[in-house]
Amino acid sequence: MRDVAIIAAGQTKFARTEWPLIDLLVEGARTALADVEIDESIIQAVVVANMGAGILNHQSGVASAVVDGLGLFPAHAELVENGPASGASAVKMAFLGIAAGYYDVVLVIGGEKMRAVNGWESTDFVATLTHPFAEYIYGVTLPSMAGLFARLYMEKYGITPEHLAMVAIKNHNNAMFNPEAHVQQRITMEGILHRPEAVVNNPIVADPLRMFDCCPVSDGAAGLVLCAAERAGQFTDKPVLIAGVGQATDTHVVHEREDPTDLKAVTLASEQAFKMARVGPDQVDVAELHDAFTILEIAESEHAGFFPKGEGHKALERGETQIGGKLPINPSGGLKARGHPVGATGIAQLVEITKQLRGDAGQRQVKKAKTGFTLNFGGFGNNVLAFVLKKT
Amino acid sequence: MQPAPPAYKCSNCGRTTTYARLRCLNCRGETFEAAALPDTATLLTLTEIHQLPVGFDERFLRVGIVEFAGGARAMGWVTFEGAETGTQVEVRWEPIRDSDGEPVYGFAFYPEA
Ligand SMILES: [Zn+2]
């Protein structure tokens, strides 16, 4: 297997956009292509990540349309739909093609135009990934799946609403230094939890989770150019190595898991990525985790191996996961504040780690970052991908 | 008479689910027999959903997951206030909503008599 490197990375600003889906994806690709000097005719394939074009935008054949929008004929083109893990899955498919020696240079682009529909419809769109007869018929939403999980996890480990708010406050603070983030708003514990008006400013979405425990609904796109590591030096002096890739699946129906607080697929995917990269979680300098809900950042930080079970919220409390701490988590603002256009997210996480390892992250730069980690969480934990990236 | 709640027991290993499957999650067995669920169960977790998807007019919905003696689990609507993890509930299988004028059956959890 050949080594594979990231030679370019970029994303659009995550927000609400008027752009049609394909233009949004093309713009995401352009931000990545603008990051490297490359003759675009050497791009052999375009892998596109998108979860909802059929439901949200009434469009199919998305990957072919993106190649057309970019004028990259006759490049190969495929769409990867893997729920909220579509982005990382698309990167994995591109990685495999290059590692196998079939391709040398591949463009990966992920995006979602979720604000094409109203809030009730986008909530329903995401809920379609739940089990149709055992879960969906009851009106469950992804925030409610997280609410069911959060109640158990918080009771088991003594996590309080204040701990959840600490995740939100940290990630909102980080996003203040990320011009591409959807939400740029400082929040305080007082304002979102303790003042009387908090019940209005931060209403219950699915108890115990409140609005500021949930990611926003965003439009946006993110892209990467992947290249055989042996050729990466032709294009950049700062290639970032994809050192480890892991993935694992779990039951569709969440309550079929023996212990519903155990995110087994997170553990397995992370272990696989670490093993392949020949590093341990203790060697990671910066991580982007899938904090679609604040509770998930805490739970994933434990299941990925950074902290023992039940200790993640204590590390958070000690400030270890802030920029400047022992293991900064979500310096980009995470899904919580950067936003979560589902097809883009897994790629945006890798864009952030690429910038961090190159030393290009501006005011949110994690000092001396050499090894980075990403975790993209699909379904409610039924399909999870992890990556380990290394500075070269 | 209400219909009995569905329960499918794997003929090979005995694992029971409350929705139909073609293959057992535990042993990949492909034959199932109808099983009877107890009338009561224990609430494992619950949430009150205040931002509902399109198609629901309720102001909020309470959804929970219960575990029956023997280990089978089910999601359903928690119909009463004050439930918490560990609460014993009475389980019914009843029309919970309409789809094109046809009733959709689901689990609903009531206070234990
Ligand atoms: Zn079985």
Of B49, B73, B104, the CB nearest to A137: B104
* B47 belongs to a structural domain: yes
Gyration radius (Cα) of chain B, Å: 15
- Summarize pLDDT for A290-302 with one digit per residue, the tens: 999 999 999 999 9
Q: What is the pLDDT of residue B1?
A: 60
Q: Give yes or no for B42 touching A (CB within 8 A).
A: no
- Give the span between the Cα atoms of A195 and A109, in whole angstroms: 42
Q: Across the interface, do B49 and A256 touch by the CB < 8 Å criterion?
A: no
* B49 belongs to a structural domain: yes
Q: Across the interface, do B49 and A255 touch by the CB < 8 Å criterion?
A: no
User: Residue B29, Cβ neighbours under 10 Å: how many?
Assistant: 16
Q: What is the pLDDT of residue A150?
A: 98
- Summarize pLDDT for A174-231 with one digit per residue, the tens: 999 999 999 999 999 999 999 999 999 999 999 999 999 999 999 999 999 999 999 9
* B76 belongs to a structural domain: yes
For residue B41, give the CATH number of its domain: 2.40.50
Instruction: Please report residues of B whose CB lies closer than 8 A to that of A204.
Output: 48, 50
- Give the span between the Cα atoms of A293 and A380, in whole angstroms: 11
Q: How far is CA A330 from CA A81, A87, A350, B23, B25, in A?
A: 24, 17, 11, 39, 35
- Summarize pLDDT for A326-382 with one digit per residue, the tens: 999 999 999 999 999 999 999 999 999 999 999 999 999 999 999 999 999 999 999
Determine the CATH number of domain A4-118+220-232: 3.40.47.10
Q: Give yes or no for B51 touching A (CB within 8 A).
A: yes
- Give the span between the Cα atoms of A129 and A131, in whole angstroms: 7
Supply the ipTM of this predicted assembly. 0.97
Q: Give yes or no for B96 touching A (CB within 8 A).
A: yes
Q: What is the mean pLDDT of residues A138-145?
A: 97
* B19 belongs to a structural domain: no
Distance (angstroms) between ligand 1 centre and the Cα of A257 equals 15
Q: Are A265 and A251 spatial neighbours (Cβ–Cβ below 8 Å)? A: no
Place of tokens 């509930």: B89
Q: Across the interface, do A148 and B46 touch by the CB < 8 Å criterion?
A: yes
Q: Across the interface, do B63 and A131 touch by the CB < 8 Å criterion?
A: no
Of A134, A137, A203, the CB nearest to B50: A203
Distance (angstroms) between ligand 1 centre and the Cα of B22 equals 11
Q: How far is CA A11 from its chain centroid?
A: 12
Q: What is the pLDDT of residue B113?
A: 80
Of B46, B51, B58, the CB nearest to A143: B51
- Summarize pLDDT for A75-110 with one digit per residue, the tens: 999 999 999 999 999 999 999 999 999 999 999 999
Q: Across the interface, do B49 and A140 touch by the CB < 8 Å criterion?
A: yes
Q: What is the pLDDT of residue A222?
A: 98
* B55 belongs to a structural domain: yes
Of A119, A123, A204, the CB nearest to B48: A204
- Summarize pLDDT for B56-100 with one digit per residue, the tens: 989 999 999 999 999 999 999 999 999 999 999 999 999 999 888
Q: Across the interface, do A138 and B96 touch by the CB < 8 Å criterion?
A: yes
* B81 belongs to a structural domain: yes
**Residues with a beta carbon under 5 angstroms from ion ligand 1:** B 10, 12-13, 15, 24, 26-27, 29
CA dihedral of residues A182, A67, A229, A91 (deg, nearest 10): 50
Find which of B27, B51, B60 to mutate to test the A interface (most A CBs within 10 Å of its CB): B51
The count of structural domains within chain B is 1
Find which of B50, B62, B102 to mutate to test the A interface (most A CBs within 10 Å of its CB): B50
The sign one gets for the Cα dihedral A224, A225, A228, A231 is negative
Q: Give yes or no for B40 touching A (CB within 8 A).
A: no
Find which of A114, A118, A125, A144 to mutate to test the B interface (most B CBs within 10 Å of its CB): A144
Q: Give yes or no for B26 touching A (CB within 8 A).
A: no
Instruction: Please report residues of A whose CB lies closer than 8 A to that of B20.
Output: 133
What share of chain A in percent tops pLDDT 70? Answer: 100
Residue B2, pLDDT above cutoff 80:
no
3-class secondary structure, A91 = helix
* B17 belongs to a structural domain: no
Give the predicted TM-score (pTM) of the model.
0.97
Range of the domain at B107: 37-111
Of A121, A144, A255, the CB nearest to B73: A255
- Summarize pLDDT for A216-238 with one digit per residue, the tens: 999 999 999 999 999 999 999 99
Q: What are phi and psi of A164, to 5 degrees?
A: -60, -40
Q: What is the mean pLDDT of residues B13-32?
A: 98
Distance (angstroms) between ligand 1 centre and the Cα of B32 equals 9
Q: What is the pLDDT of residue B4?
A: 85
* B95 belongs to a structural domain: yes
- Here the tokens at position B84 are 């918490």
Smallest CA–CA distance, residue A335 to chain B, in Å, is: 19
Q: Across the interface, do A255 and B75 touch by the CB < 8 Å criterion?
A: yes
Instruction: Please report residues of A whose CB lies closer than 8 A to that of B64.
Output: 148
